[in-house]
Structure 1
């Protein structure tokens, strides 16, 4: 077997960029081959399930990154507002100040397949749960905490969509600034 010309990690990173930039439906095999530097036959060798398998692996990778990197400040013993500020800083970096489209949005259109939808759902559920846990620790009821978490994520995700459409990132920055208030039910500082 010939040696791989690109590591699995680099390959998934490049696939992530393609799916972020053009979405699932816009990611033709020619576009993917160009972005990865691999021939179509090599792509099918690495991903026998085709583009759906690629999307599933990208969604799983980003979900794992969110759990271990982006949301990690929520698991510390710091005060709740500081933990949320840490997540906001991570989101700011991850989404490059609001200029980086959200994979959750870009892979949710089109038929990325059951495995990709499952991985996207798991990532979203984890994000909601992590935010809701902070809201519950601040005294919110289970239902209110879930609603606060969903509202916070909608503010972030909606701002990312708006930024992609308008080229303006102000709403994204406001969503991150308001994150403690959205989750803790307090006034923004």
Structure 2
């Protein structure tokens, strides 16, 4: 039986699961209602902006979680390789060893609205900046550090797309293993 009410945190988590599974365009209101246990009218009551507002709130929530949980080790007092290794471990958990879809990809297809696109962009920019700051701290110029950070994010995100398409997570694991080398400039040959 569907719940009569659901907390905002649980609601956003369920919406996140729907968007991860089927993307923005694939998330019909019927699918969302079934996943959340709420009637369409209750969804519109909670989200007057409809599915676009839902996508924006999910993107904002994941962006906050990424900044406060996933990337947090980058700010601790430890060698850069150790900090990056801890972030890699967090990414491994967050993406369930490469089997969890990435919202940057799943929400960027279709028209999730300006607020969702802004939240996705801000989240990606924060991720790149955090990685670039570590590379700068290890001696890279700002331009080189930003390029390394973008390459690292692309490696991780691309590996997640590849895992979704092929069902194999090897590239995701390699991207995480190579993360310190990508950011610190010690790329293996």
Q: TM-score range by the shorter chain?
A: over 0.9
- RMSD, aligned α-carbons: 1.0
Residue 159 of structure 2: aligned partner: 159
In 2, distance between residues paired with 1:45 and 1:187? 51
| Stretches of structure 1 lacking an aligned partner (at least 5 in a row) | none
**1:26 aligns to what?**
26
- TM-score, structure 2 as length reference: 0.97
Q: Which residue of 1 aligns with 2:122?
A: 122
CA distance, structure 1, for counterparts of residue 187 and residue 153 of structure 2 = 18
Q: Which residue of 2 aligns with 1:140?
A: 140
Moved over 6 A (4+): none
CA deviation profile, 1:130-177 (whole Å, cap 9, x unmatched) = 000000001100100000000000000000000000000000000000
Deviation at 1:44, TM superposition (A): 0.1
TM-score in terms of structure 1 length: 0.97
Residues paired across the two proteins, number: 186
Q: Which residue of 1 aligns with 2:77?
A: 77
1:67-94 C-alpha deviation (Å, 9 max, x unpaired): 0000000010110000000000000000
| Contiguous gaps of at least 5 residues in structure 2 | none
Deviations for 1:84-106, whole angstroms, at most 9, x for unmatched residues? 00000000000000000000000
Matched residues in 2 for 1:60 and 1:87: separation? Answer: 20
Q: Secondary structure at the match of 2:97?
A: helix
Residues of 2 paired with 1:187 and 1:113: CA distance? 38
Q: How does 1:36-115 map to 2 (within 5 A)?
A: 36-115=36-115
- Structure 2: how far apart are the matches of 1:68 and 1:123? 12
